[in-house]
Amino acid sequence: MKIAVLVKQVPGADSPLPIQSNQNWVDEGAVAFIMNESDNYALEEALQIRESMGEGEVVAVSLGPDRIQKVIREALAKGADRAIHIQMDTEGVIDPLVTASLFAQALKEENFDLIFTGLQSDDLGMGQTGIILGEMLGMATASLAMATELGDGKIKVKRELEAGWFQWVSLTLPASVSIQSGLNTPRYPSLKGIMGAKRKELKVVTPNAIDATQSLEKVYLPKSEKQTVMIEGSADQIVEKLVETFRNEIKVL
């Protein structure tokens, strides 16, 4: 079983996000980057499949400038067998058709049985790359996987539907599946894993440019939809004002 896991480096939940003065993008120099949350789960799912089958290969693949080698090393330290870095300055690249095409160029000769991606990235939030890539490489696709089972040349995926519903879907291999957060417990890299990661293969490829079908005009702080009354003071003063609000304004006490 040969599994590719697409991992993306994105700003962490607590990272500052200063907007560039031209509003083209955030000032990446000030950003604290981490591995995209759902990609952690996608990687863990791939590692567990390899371990339970006792054979196979997990390849971490990432697109972006040199800084992203940090998450590639992290994936290798957690147990990926090798990695591919598609090296490109991705600032302002938002088109999932472009992103997926770049991955397709790098992966088409590899003949993966499975491609796992996180459900969506915590920066752009397009949620499309893995599915488009599946279409481009002639694979079956499914999104929002909450569990996976392999057997008989198929992968069975428990898909999350809306409002607390689920559905099992079986896909013929090869398949590209997007993974929802929470389906497993992602491991931490061991010291041995971290040391070993340095000796693993990291192939750097430079892709051909592709024309975008959609582009970013500007980013900005959201306009508040409501006039928010801010309650300030010491903890005791805040509590007093909250109780008063619950009682006299919202009338639930």
Q: Establish if 188 lies at the interface with another protein (CB under 8 A).
A: no
**Residue from the set 164, 188, 192, 199 that interacts with another protein by CB under 8 A:** 164
Q: Of the listed pieces 68-76, 77-85, 192-200, 223-231, which binds another protein according to CB under 8 A?
A: 223-231
C-beta of 134: minimal distance to another protein in Å? 7
Residue with tokens 């909450």: 146
Residue 178 contacts residue 143 (beta carbons within 8 Å): yes
C-beta of 231: minimal distance to another protein in Å? 5
Question: Binding mask 122-161 vs another protein (x if CB under 8 A, - otherwise)?
Answer: xxxxxxx--xx-xxx---xxxxx--------------xxx
Give the nearer residue to another protein in terms of CB position, either 24 or 190: 24
Q: Which residues contact 166 (CB under 8 A, 6 or more apart)?
A: 146, 158, 159, 160
Give the nearer residue to another protein in terms of CB position, either 66 or 166: 166
C-beta of 54: minimal distance to another protein in Å? 27
Residue 123 contacts residue 219 (beta carbons within 8 Å): no
Q: Establish if 209 lies at the interface with another protein (CB under 8 A).
A: no
Give the nearer residue to another protein in terms of CB position, either 201 or 233: 233
Strands 9-11 and 140-151, bridge-based pairing:
unpaired
C-beta of 172: minimal distance to another protein in Å? 5
User: Looking only at residues 234 through 253 of this chain, which bind another protein when binding is defined by CB under 8 A?
Assistant: 235-236, 238-240, 242-243, 245-247, 249-253
Residue with tokens 């693993």: 200
C-alpha span between 200 and 190 (Å, rounded): 15
Q: Establish if 109 lies at the interface with another protein (CB under 8 A).
A: no
Q: Establish if 70 lies at the interface with another protein (CB under 8 A).
A: no
Residue of 45, 20, 2 whose CA lies nearest to 147: 45
C-alpha span between 83 and 95 (Å, rounded): 23
Q: Which residues contact 180 (CB under 8 A, 6 or more apart)?
A: 38, 41, 119, 144, 145, 146, 160
C-beta of 9: minimal distance to another protein in Å? 14
Q: Which residues contact 172 (CB under 8 A, 6 or more apart)?
A: 140, 153, 154
Tell me, rounded to whole angstroms, the distance of Cα 98 from its chain centroid.
Answer: 17
C-beta of 58: minimal distance to another protein in Å? 22
Q: Establish if 118 lies at the interface with another protein (CB under 8 A).
A: no
